[in-house]
Structure 1
């Protein structure tokens, strides 16, 4: 006789009772209202990207790729976007791009403050860390069921599922970057009379910027993978093309959608990676950092000639 024959825990029944019996009846209007900002940003961004001509959008991304990722990625961007347009998937690609940008924007707006709070409070980090562990280990498809029950179906619920799925790297790497700022610098800034806000804005965030941008890059890639899955609950874009091809056994359609996703992923990944690598964070001298910190207080600049360089994160 196995232990399961003696003790059976109705865990699934408990979850169903909590979600269906209490959470949905009492808080669904709140969740519906919470998706309004996401809907507004997504709809306006999607309309803008669809309004801008393909040539202008391609030129803008090619220039960004040239600036941050090099000539090769710029050429790849031009050829890749031209290919997407020629196979007739430009509108779906722009919808996917709007979903990704909206997701990353809200991930940054939520994740950056959470990461800062986690870096400044060990207690808060101990509470937040297991929550992030759960968010990163739960299979992505599992998010869709409660999202549909609480928010319904459509593009906005798909974005909310994407935000929940993609936000942990932003929080973790923001916390890591700020915690890795050298202690002697923070002590020096505090000794010169800097407030906590001045020390955070002028000292810790600039030195942690590379790590924060690495978190933004990882969040973006997770968002790209999730918006494809979110097509199962009514989100559009290239994910819908892939899922429709899968349902109809349309190999050509699914492959075309997949190639569009790959091209968009490479372009966005290389640009954001180059943005982080091109940042000057971590290359300032101690004197330069302290001068930036004290500038708002009207204090005399620190002589940078007597200090060594700040270690990179």
Structure 2
């Protein structure tokens, strides 16, 4: 027996479509102007990575790995992973993907940490934000690609925005959790010493929450990287585009090599962000 039709689903869909179409008509030019700095930033990072000598890029990543872990094993691992990407012929596309990842991660930090802090400070805002984060994490990424493409068209910007929307929730949640887990006795001691609310946030809560925030950055990075192939469907170039081309043309080798390069970048980001998190949590151990 069919479920009774309470709402006219067709009219509901048409209403949503009409609303988005009207947004495009009214605000297309404004959205393009707003997205231009983001596009300029992404293109600048991409050109920097693609035009820099490969050995300088590897050296820069190795230095970042060293400062994060103080372990030569990680430095050697990062170097080998980057060399592997170059050896299998995926260097240029790998740099395009790396640029998208870097810009997406920076934007997630700019958005995620302040929102997480605000959630920890305001219970009312937290109750509103949690369902929104649930929707962002559980909604299939292809669903919100549709309005993003309608509003911004095809290209790098909609791919970047879709990546940010998909990847930022873990950072927000773990920033909120990290601040809430700060020991109440520590906060009482700070209050006793006359610290203001701002001083307690910047000098006590955020430093103590850094391990959780780094865990959030790690999860956000992994989720952003998982969007590489999906983002390639709406104009993001890089390794995802190679995987998509391999699927469309049934070229197993092409897709496999690009997939292995994505795995290499995932391992690199995962190990480096984990190393920074452990170093913040156990600073004395990290120096050994």
| TM-score, with length taken from structure 1 | 0.85
**CA offsets 1:252-295 (integer angstroms, 9 cap, x no match):** 11111101000011011100010011114799xxxxxxxxxxxx
Structure 1: unaligned runs, 5 residues or longer:
284-313
Does structure 1 residue 28 correspond to structure 2 residue 28?
A: yes
1:115 paired residue number: 116
2:240 paired residue number: 239
In proportion to residue count, which structure has more helix?
A: 2
Q: Distance in 2 between matches of 1:181 and 1:12?
A: 46
- Using the TM superposition, give the Cα deviation of residue 138 of structure 1 relative to its aligned residue in structure 2, in angstroms: 0.5
Q: Is the 1:93–1:260 Cα contact (8 Å) retained in structure 2?
A: yes
1:134 paired residue number: 135
What is the SS of the residue equivalent to 1:4?
A: coil
What is the SS of the residue equivalent to 1:279?
A: helix
1:248 paired residue number: 249
| TM-score, with length taken from structure 2 | 0.92
Higher relative CO (Cα under 8 Å, sequence separation at least 6) belongs to 2
What is the SS of the residue equivalent to 2:280?
A: coil
Q: Distance in 2 between matches of 1:75 and 1:215?
A: 25
CA RMSD of aligned residues (A): 1.9
- Using the TM superposition, give the Cα deviation of residue 196 of structure 1 relative to its aligned residue in structure 2, in angstroms: 1.3
What is the SS of the residue equivalent to 1:233?
A: coil
Structure 2: unaligned runs, 5 residues or longer:
none
1:105 paired residue number: 106
- Using the TM superposition, give the Cα deviation of residue 107 of structure 1 relative to its aligned residue in structure 2, in angstroms: 0.5
Q: Is the 1:73–1:267 Cα contact (8 Å) retained in structure 2?
A: no
Q: Is the 1:159–1:227 Cα contact (8 Å) retained in structure 2?
A: no
What is the SS of the residue equivalent to 1:236?
A: coil
Q: Is the 1:231–1:239 Cα contact (8 Å) retained in structure 2?
A: yes
How many corresponding residue pairs? 282
Q: Is the 1:227–1:239 Cα contact (8 Å) retained in structure 2?
A: yes
